[in-house]
A and B are shown apart, each in its own frame.
Chain A
Amino acid sequence: MIEDVSLYEILTVTSILFFIGVYGFITRKNLISILISVELLLNASVVNFVAINKYLYPDVLQGVVFSIFIIAVAAAETALAVAIIINLYRQISSVEVKDVETMKY
C-alpha cells in the first residue's frame, strides 16, 4: 500500500498503459514492434493484479503469484516469438507484417 495513492489512480495508469499497448499493436507494421506492444499489454495487466492484490486482499497472494506466472509466460512467449521472427527473416528476408499475409482471402 502506497501512502496517499488510491487504487483508482493506479488502475487509471494501467488502463492508459493497456490502451497504449493496444494502439501500438494495431498501428505498428513490424513484428518486433508488435511484440513490444504485447509486452506493454502484459505489464499493464501484471500491475493491475499486483495493485488489486495489495489494496483489496493483502492476506492472499494470488495476484502476486499470477503476476509471476504471467512474467514466466511472457518470457516463453517472447522466446518463441523471437524464434519465429528469426526463422521468418531467414525465409522471406522481412519481418514486415505486409509480407506475411498468407491468411488473406
Chain B
Amino acid sequence: MERIIFYILAFVIIAFAVASVNSRRMLRSVVYLAFVLISIAGFFFLIDYNLLAAIQLTVYAGGIIVLIIFSVLLVHHIEMRLEMASIAKRITTAVLCLVGMGVFIYTIHSFEFEMVENTKSTTTQDIGDRLLSYGDGGFILPFEVISILLLAAMIGAIVIAKGTKLMDKNS
C-alpha cells in the first residue's frame, strides 16, 4: 500500500517538476511548483516525519509559494507567455542533465547502503529537544544563527524592495 502511494507521489513530483520548468505561463509554473512541494510534504508524512511535513506545507507550500505568486503578479501580465531558450540550448542542457542523472543514479545503485531496520517514529519533542539542546549533537548554535540570518534577510528584503524612490521620500 505504502509502496503504491510512494510511486504515485514520485510520479506526481517528477511530472509536475517537469511541467513547472517547461510551462510558458508564469503563474502555472508556480502552481505546478506548489504541487511538487505538496507532494513532497506527502512524502514526509509517508516517511513518518510529521513535523517536517507540516513545516513543508506551511513554510514552503504556504509562505514561499504565496511570495512567488505575489512577485509574479507584481511584475507580469497574467497572459504573458514566457520566452523560451533556443531549441539547441534546451537539447544540450537536457542531454547534459540526462548524463548527470545517469551518473548519479548509477553511482547510487552501485553503492551498498547499510540499512537499519527500525519502525520507531520520531516525535516533535525529539526534534525540538535536539534543536534546542546545547549538549552533544545539539543544534542550539545553528538555531540561533539561522534566526539571525532570517532577521537579516527580512531587513535586507525590506531595504532592497523599498528601493531608492521611497528612500528619497524619507530624506
Contacts and interface: CB of A to CB of B under 8 A. Distances in A.
Contact of A36 (B30, B52, B70, B108): B30
A15 B105 CA distance: 7
Contacts, number: 232
Contact of A67 (B3, B17, B52): B52
Contact of B21 (A36, A51, A64, A89): A36
A11 B63 CA distance: 27
B131 A68 contact: yes
Given A20-B17, A64-B49, A65-B139, A79 B40 contact: no
Best-surrounded residue of A9, A23, A62 (most CB of chain B within 10 A): A23
A40 to B, nearest CB: 6
Contacts of A13: 10, 13-14
A55 to B, nearest CB: 6
B59 A71 contact: yes
Interface residues of A, number: 75
A74 B51 CA distance: 17
B165 interface: yes
Contacts of B146: 69, 72-73
A91 B90 CA distance: 30
Interface of A: 1-13, 15-24, 26-30, 32-33, 35-37, 39-40, 43, 46-47, 50-51, 54-62, 64-65, 67-69, 71-80, 82-87, 89-91, 95-96
Interface of B: 1-3, 6, 10, 13-14, 17-18, 20-21, 26, 29-30, 33, 36-37, 40, 43-44, 46-49, 51-52, 55-56, 59-60, 63-64, 67-68, 70-72, 74-76, 82-85, 89-90, 93-94, 96-98, 100-101, 104-105, 108-109, 113-120, 122, 126-127, 130-131, 137, 139, 142, 146, 149-150, 153-154, 156-158, 160-161, 163, 165
8 contacts: A2-B47, A12-B109, A32-B72, A64-B122, A73-B149, A79-B157, A87-B160, A95-B76
Given A32-B76, A68-B131, 16 more contacts: A1-B47, A3-B3, A23-B21, A27-B21, A30-B26, A39-B33, A40-B21, A43-B36, A54-B48, A59-B120, A61-B130, A71-B60, A73-B146, A79-B153, A83-B158, A96-B83
